[in-house]
């Protein structure tokens, strides 16, 4: 059974490209446009969450905290997407328990690599 990945990013193009890359690599992908949207999509099997930090309504850090507090998903690995300009966010994310980061801009292969480390297709 394919691993299911939830990708949370407000940029449609990031979602689209990630989705295509991951789908090709044999994952099943669910998309969400921001933290709040993503919370609504936390259901069933989710093997990995990839979340942008900088998003409207609910940013990635708050979303991460919510995931960590969720009884069913607190063990789900989360990869945060950030930029090199977002070091302060990174510290904030660390404090919230973020371990895995991918720095934007990234190549699809970079994402696939990072995903493979946490959940091989």
- Residue 112 to residues 26, 41, 89, 117, Cα–Cα distance (Å): 11, 22, 23, 9
The verdict on 119 binding another protein (CB under 8 A) reads: yes
Instruction: For the CB of residue 118, give the shortest distance to another protein in the complex, in Å.
Output: 5
Rounded CA separation 4/121 (Å): 9
Nearest C-alpha neighbor of 6 from the set 78, 113, 59: 78
Q: Which of residues 78-97 bind another protein (CB under 8 A)?
A: 78-79, 81, 83-85, 87-88, 90-92, 95, 97
- What's the first-to-final CA gap in the chain, in angstroms? 9
Q: Does 118 bind another protein (CB under 8 A)?
A: yes
Does the footprint of another protein cover residue 120 (CB under 8 A)? yes
- Binding another protein (rule: CB under 8 A), the pick from 43, 45, 70, 113 is 113
The answer to whether residues 72 and 92 touch, using CB atoms and an 8 Å cutoff, is: no
CB of 29 to another protein, least distance (A): 14
43 binds another protein (CB under 8 A): no
The C-alpha atoms of residue 64 and residue 80 are separated, in whole angstroms, by: 9
Residues that bind another protein (CB under 8 A): 10-14, 16-18, 20-21, 24, 33-34, 54-57, 59, 68, 74-79, 81, 83-85, 87-88, 90-92, 95, 97, 99-108, 110, 113-114, 116-120
């Amino acid at each position: 059974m394919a691993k299911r990945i939830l990708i949370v990013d407000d940029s449609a193009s990031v979602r689209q490209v990630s989705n295509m890359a991951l789908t090709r690599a044999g994952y099943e992908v669910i998309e969400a446009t921001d933290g709040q949207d993503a919370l609504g999509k936390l259901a069933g099997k989710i093997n990995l969450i990839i979340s942008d930090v900088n998003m409207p309504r609910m940013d990635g850090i708050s979303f991460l905290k919510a995931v960590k507090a969720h009884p069913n998903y607190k063990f789900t690995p989360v990869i945060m997407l950030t930029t090199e300009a977002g070091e302060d966010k990174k510290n904030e994310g660390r404090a919230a328990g973020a371990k895995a980061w991918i720095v934007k801009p990234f190549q699809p292969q970079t994402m696939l690599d990072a995903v493979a480390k946490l959940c091989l297709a």
